[in-house]
Amino acid sequence: MNEPTKISSGNSPAGVTPGIRLSIATAKPTTHMAEPILTRVSGVIDFKLPRAGTLLPDMDLQALRAVASRLGIELAPAQIQALTAFVTDLYATNQTTNLTRVPEGEADAMHLADSLLVAEFAKRHARVLDIGAGPGFPAVPLALCRPDLDIIAVEATSKFATFLSAHCPTNVEVVNGRAEELDGRETVDLVTGRALAPLGIQLELSAAWCKVGGLVVPFRTPAEREACATINIGVLGLRLVALEERQIPGTDVVRLFPVYEKVRPTPAEYPRPWARIKARPFSARLPKPGSS
Ligand code: SAH
């Protein structure tokens, strides 16, 4: 088995300190992706269908289509094929390597549609960072549905980064490393992440990456509304500008997106080393139970 290869400074994303990038050669061959799903042609993403004979029956992807149509995104058949192939390979690999606990029947709503909800916060051609992408959420559905975006997926755990490297569209750069150890300060228009860490930790991991004027929009839940509104993260250079709730179509699950604008550069001491982030995280000033 090949050793993982270092990202050379020549091909690392602009402003990102080289970390570990997994060589595609180390990944298992995929069952359906005989050819790359996407290729970049002079800055435009060109969708390629798999070779004849490898076409999968399309999943209906009703929830994903509903979010796409709400956002005015028309999904071409090649995009549906690519999303279907990704989900099929995720669950095939999940039989031997634990990548997700969401049942396959819920993947359309709970993985694809949920991931795409964050697309509304990404302006055209934005550079987007997904911290803790796991096997690819939200990075992969976002990349396949919004080929104009340039996405970096930072993932600390090798088994996820390996899967992701072997399955990511060409507009996703996978970095196997920890967000707080990589240097990509002020290089990204939108920083997001789903199920990454408690709110204060997620915001500290995210803030420095975001350009002034850009947005940090973590995936949170409505139960955290007050925490999102009161958390004291001004020192990170962030300011809350909106709290947006979106229902996942076909479910009663509601996603909360607190929208933080980066209003000032994040001081150089943030993010702190992981041990200190964990020991003293930023936390919300919630009223004591019973007071009010
Ligand atoms: N976003 C995915 C995975 C969530 S699990 C999903 O919603 O399905 C959280 C992931 O964050 C794990 O894969 C873990 O390895 C990764 N992670 C945790 N801390 C991290 C850090 N500091 N930098 C990068 N990745 C991190």
The token pair that represents 259 in the structure block: 């929208």
Structure-model confidence comparison of residues 111 and 287, the more confident one: 111
Say yes or no: CB of residue 277 within 6 Å of ligand 1: no
Choose one of 112, 115, 196, 202 to mutate for the ligand 1 pocket test, by most ligand atoms within 8 angstroms of C-beta.
Answer: 196
The token pair that represents 99 in the structure block: 């990548």
Structure-model confidence comparison of residues 291 and 199, the more confident one: 199
pLDDT tens-digit readout, 236-281: 999 999 999 999 999 999 999 999 999 999 999 999 999 999 999 9
CA of 133 to the centre of ligand 1 (A): 6
Say what the pLDDT of residue 284 is: 76
Tell me: pLDDT of 129 over 50.
Answer: yes
Q: What is the mean pLDDT of residues 191-208?
A: 98
Of all atoms in ligand 1, which is nearest to the CA of residue 136?
2
Of all atoms in ligand 1, which is nearest to the CA of residue 193?
1
Say yes or no: CB of residue 133 within 6 Å of ligand 1: yes
Tell me: pLDDT of 160 over 90.
Answer: yes
In this structure, the residue with its CA closest to atom 11 of ligand 1 is 132
Query: Residue 288 burial by CB count (10 A; 0-12/13-18/19+): exposed, middle or buried?
Result: exposed
Sign of the dihedral defined by the CA atoms of residues 147, 24, 164, 266, in that order: negative
**Whole-structure pTM value:** 0.83
Confidence of residue 8 (pLDDT cuts 50, 70, 90): very low
Q: What is the mean pLDDT of residues 82-102?
A: 97
pLDDT tens-digit readout, 9-61: 233 333 333 333 332 222 333 333 333 333 332 233 333 333 344 455 666 89
CA of 170 to the centre of ligand 1 (A): 21
- H-type alpha helices, the chain: 62-70, 77-94, 107, 114-116, 139-145, 158-167, 199-207, 225-230, 274-279
Say what the pLDDT of residue 287 is: 56
Of all atoms in ligand 1, which is nearest to the CA of residue 219?
7
Tell me: pLDDT of 71 over 80.
Answer: yes
14-279 CATH: 3.40.50.150
Say what the pLDDT of residue 221 is: 98
Say yes or no: CB of residue 195 within 6 Å of ligand 1: yes
- The DSSP symbol for 290 reads T
pLDDT tens-digit readout, 236-246: 999 999 999 99
Say what the pLDDT of residue 167 is: 94
